[in-house]
Structure 1
C-alpha cells in the first residue's frame, strides 16, 4: 500500500491509524455537541431555579413589615442560592414599582473591590419595560441574565425583585465537563484498542497468504495455511489460495511427468521402428518374419503419427485455429451410426447399447467433431473395463450420457481429469498416450455449444455427459 511519499506501510498500521483519526474527529464533534448541550441545559435549569428564588423572595418581601428586614432577606437568599452550586451567588436587587432601588444583596462576585459595598452592575431601565420574566443583558460587554418577579400586596404590585447572574457563572459545571472529557478519552482509547485487535486478527491470515505467495514465487509450492477462520471472505480467500497451490503443485507434477512421459512415449516407437528396420536391412529376418517386422513397423509408425496428430489437434483447438461445420442432424440416427462404427473397430468383449427416445431429436452440430468426442469417451470406457463390461449411451434433449461398468476414477484424481497431459496412475501403466483425450473432448464440446462433465463415478462405474446449452 502506497502513501503520499510512495513508501509502503502495513495494512494494520494503515487502517488503525485512519480509524483512530476518524474516531478522534468523531469524538471531537460529539464532545463539542455535548459541551454545548450541557452548557445550554445547565443555564436553563439554573434560570428556572433563579425564577423560583425571585418568586420566593418577592413573597417574603410582600409579607414583611418593613424596617431592617432586608439583611434577613439577603442572608436567606444567600442560603437558598447555594442550591445552585455556583462559586459566586447571584445578585439580588429589590426596587419599587418605578424601578428605584431599595436594596441590594448577594452577588459578591459582582461587587467592585475598589469600592466596598458598591456593585459593578447597574440596573438597566429596559428590564422593567419588557414583560419577559427572564432577560439577557450585555452591559459593559458582560453577558448577564436578569430574572424579575413582582412584589404584590393584596394583589396590588408594589415593586420588583430582580435576580442577576453572569452567563459564565451560570454555565460553569466543571465536574460535568471533566467527566465528559474522561468519557470521550476513554471511548477513544477503547475504540482504538478494539479496532487494533480486530484488525490484527483479520490481517493475520492475509499476511500468511502474502507470505505463502512470496514463497510460491520462489518455487516452493508446499505451503500450509490455517483455514480455521470465522470470517466468510477470509475463509474464501484462504481456501481458494490453498486450492490454487494444490492445482499449481499438480500442474508442476504434470509438467515433470509430461517431459518424462512424452519422451518415453515418443522414444519407444522410434526405438522399436529403428530396431525393426535395421533387422530387415541387415537381413537378420527373411520371408514371412521379414513381412511381420514390416507390419509391426507400420503399426508403430501409426501410433507415432496418432500422438503427433493429437498434439497438433490440441494446439490448433487451443489457439482457435480450427473450423466447425454445423448442420442440422438427426441425433437418433447419428448416435446409432457412430456406435455401430466404433463396435466394428473394437476387438473386445465390451457390450455397447444405445438408449434413445422414440421421437426424433434434431440439433445443429458438427457430426465429425461429435464423433471425435464420443469415440474418445468410448475408448476410455473400454480401457477402464479392460475390454470386458457394458457401456450405455443415452440420448435426450439435454445431452448425451455415456455410462460404463468400469472401476471408476479415484477421488484424488477427479479434479484433474480435464487437465491437459494428466493421466491416472492406473492408465499410465496400461496405455500409452499424452493425456489429451478428455481436455481435447471438452474443448470440442464447448466449441459445439455445450460442455463435457463427469456426472458421477464410483467403483461400479462412471458416467460422462455431453450437455447442450439451450439458447
Structure 2
C-alpha cells in the first residue's frame, strides 16, 4: 500500500532536489564571485589610497609609514620606482610576487589594475596602482586567506543543504502520506467492490479531484449494493410473478379436467385460468417491452397530438373504474396544447399512472389530471390523495419489480413493472418524469415534455 506514497515521495524529492541543487549552485557561484570581486576591489582601492598619499608626500617617512601599517594586516604592499626596482616592502618579496611585478603591463590605467585574480591555483591575488612619474604601488593578498573564507562559506552551504534536504524529506514524507492516504483508502474500497463486498464507507473529502473521486466511488458502491439487492429481488419477483399464475393455471386445469366436475364449476375454473393467463401474458409483454427498450429496438411513432382532447378521452374511459371505488377523477386543461408523441405509448403512460392512483387511494378521495404549457415545455400532472410513498422508497420506485408494498397483496395486484415502463416511455419521448409524495397524503407525478 505504501508503494504509491514511496513513488510520489521519490518523484517529489528528486524534482525538488534538482531544483534546489541548481539554485544552490547558482547562489554559491554568485556569492563566491561576488566575494572575490569584493576582495579584489578592496585590494585595488587600498593600493589607490596608498598611491594618493605617496603622490601628495613622496618621502622615506611616508613610504616607511605605509609599509609598516600594511605589515600588521593580511595584505602586503610593495612600492617600486620607475625602473621596477623595489623601494620598500611590508614583507620580504618572494618569487611569486616578483613574477607578478615582472608581468605588469606598460600601460596601467590611473584607476589601477588587477594583476592576478586566480585565487584557486595562485599564491596571491594582486593589484597595481601607478605613481605619477615615481613607479607603482603593488598590493598582494595571500590566497590561503581567501580560500579559508570560501571554505567557511562552503561549510555553511553544506550545513544549510543538509538541513534543507532533511526537512524536505520529512515534509515530503508527510505530504505524500497525506496525499496518498485517501488514494489508499479508495484502492481498498475498490478491492472490496471487486470481491463483491459493496459495504464500503469512504470519508467525505474536499472539493478537489480526490474528493470527487471518493464521492464517485461511494456512489458506485451504493448503486452496486442497491443493484445487487434489486437483482435478488428481481429474480425473486420474476419467480413469484411467473409461479403464481402458472400454479393457478395448472391447479384449476387439473380440477377442470376431472370427470366429476360440474359444467358450472368447470366454467368458473376456466374463467380463472383465462384471467391468470391474461395476467401472465401482460407480465411477459411488459418484460418484453423493457427488454426492447434496453436494446434500443423499441420504436416510437410520433405524430402531432392535441393533448387536451387526448387526455379528455382517457379521462372518459378511466372515470367509471374510479367511480366504482368512490374516487373522484378530475381533469383540468384549458385551450389547446400540442405535442409530438406516439398516441398508443403515451396513453400507456397515463393509464399506468392513473391505475396506480386508483389502486393506492381510498374511497372518498380525489385524483386529478392537469395539463398546462409553461414557456417551451408541456407539463402533465397526475395527483392522488392515496397512501403516498415513503421517502426512503421514492428514489427506487421507477426500478423494475420494485414495490413499496413488499407483501405483494393480491388485492392490489401489479407486477412492479408499471412505473419502470412509464419512465422508459417518457424518456423515449424526450421528456422526464418526477414525483413528490408524503406518506399518507398522496403522490404527485409530473411529466415534462
TM-score w.r.t. length of structure 1: 0.83
Partner of 2:258: 282
What residue in structure 2 maps to residue 56 of structure 1? Answer: 49
Between stretches 47-56 and 165-174, larger displacement belongs to: 165-174
- Corresponding residue for residue 5 of structure 1: none
1:91 Cα offset (Å): 4.1
Is 1:415 paired with 2:395? yes
1:104 corresponds to: 89
Structure 1 residues 130 and 254 mapped into 2: Cα distance closer, same or farther (>3 Å)?
same
In structure 1, distance between residues paired with 2:366 and 2:94: 116
Deviates more, 1:123-132 or 1:259-268: 123-132
What SS does the corresponding residue of 2:380 show, helix, strand or coil? Answer: strand
How far did residue 148 of structure 1 move? 3.9
The answer as to 2:74 corresponding to 1:94 is no
User: Contact between 2:189 and 2:200, CA under 8 Å: does it hold in 1?
Assistant: yes
Instruction: Give the alignment partner of residue 18 of structure 2, picking from 21, 25, 28.
Output: 25
Q: Matched residues in 2 for 1:136 and 1:352: separation?
A: 113
Shift of 1:99: 5.5
Q: CA shift at 1:231, angstroms?
A: 5.8
Structure 2, unmatched stretches of 5+, are: none
* Alpha-carbon distance in structure 2 between the residues aligned to 1:194 and 1:335: 70
Distance 1:437 1:144, change over 3 A: farther
Correspondence for 1:133: 112
Contact 1:127 1:135 in 2 (8 A): no
Structure 2 match to 1:402: 382
Report whether the alignment pairs 1:121 with 2:100.
Answer: yes
Call closer, same or farther: CA 1:284–1:97 in 2, change over 3 Å.
farther
Q: CA deviation at 1:356?
A: 2.3
Q: Tell me what 2:8 maps to.
A: 15
8 A Cα contact 1:53 1:77, kept in partner: no
What is the rounded CA distance, in whole Å, between the counterparts of 1:246 and 1:339 in structure 2?
A: 40
Going from structure 1 to structure 2, the CA distance change for 1:232 and 1:382 (only over 3 Å counts) comes to farther
User: Which residue matches 1:86?
Assistant: none
Q: Secondary structure at the match of 1:323?
A: coil
Q: Does the Cα contact within 8 Å between 2:366 and 2:384 map onto a contact in 1?
A: yes
Equivalent residue, structure 1, for 2:326: 349
Q: Deviations over 1:400-423 (max 9, x none)?
A: 222222333222222222223322
Provide the rounded CA distance (Å) in 2 between the counterparts of 1:186 and 1:102. Answer: 53
Number of aligned residue pairs: 440
Name stretches of at least 5 consecutive residues in structure 1 with no aligned partner: 1-7, 82-88
Q: Please report how far the alpha carbon of residue 166 of structure 1 lies from its aligned counterpart in structure 2 after TM superposition.
A: 7.3
What SS does structure 1 have at the residue aligned with 2:203?
coil
Cα distance in 1, alignment partners of residues 77 and 316 from structure 2:
120
Displacement of 1:55 after TM fit?
Answer: 3.3
The yes-or-no answer on 1:334 pairing with 2:301 is no
Q: 1:426 to 1:101 in 2, by over 3 A?
A: same
Is 1:437–2:405 an aligned residue pair? no
Query: 1:448, 1:254 → 2: CA distance?
Result: 26
Compare 305-314 and 386-395 and name the one that shifted more.
386-395
CA contact (8 A) 1:390 1:404 kept: yes
Matched residue, 1:224: 201
Contact 1:382-1:388 within 8 A present in 2 as well:
no
Q: Are the counterparts in 2 of residues 19 and 192 from structure 1 also a CA contact under 8 Å?
A: no
Relative to structure 1, the CA distance from residue 349 to residue 75 in structure 2 (aligned partners, 3 Å threshold; closer, same or farther) is farther
Distance 1:440 1:128, change over 3 A: same
- Counterpart CA distance in 2 for 1:193 and 1:429 is 66
Tell me which residue corresponds to 1:304: 280
How far apart are residue 310 of structure 1 and its match? 0.7
Q: After TM superposition, give the deviation of residue 216 of structure 1 in Å.
A: 2.5
- Counterparts of 1:143 and 1:464, CA distance in 2: 98
Pairwise CA distance, 1:374: 1.3
Q: Which stretch of structure 1 is more off in the superposition, 342-351 or 11-20?
A: 342-351
Equivalent in the alignment of 1:163: 139
Equivalent residues of 2:333, 2:371 under 8 A apart: yes
Distance 1:352 1:74 in 2: 123
Partner residue of 1:244?
220
Structure 2 distance, partners of 1:93, 1:296, is 133
State the distance in 2 between where 1:418 and 1:98 align: 112
1:408-461 deviation line (CA, Å, top 9, x unaligned): 32222222222233222457446444422222222211211122233x222222
Distance 2:122 2:106 in 1: 16
Deviation by residue 1:315-340 (Cα, 9 ceiling, x = unmatched)? 11111122211111112211222232
Q: Residue 67 of structure 1 is aligned with which of 60, 64, 71?
A: 60
* Structure 2 residue corresponding to 1:196, chosen from 137, 159, 173: 173
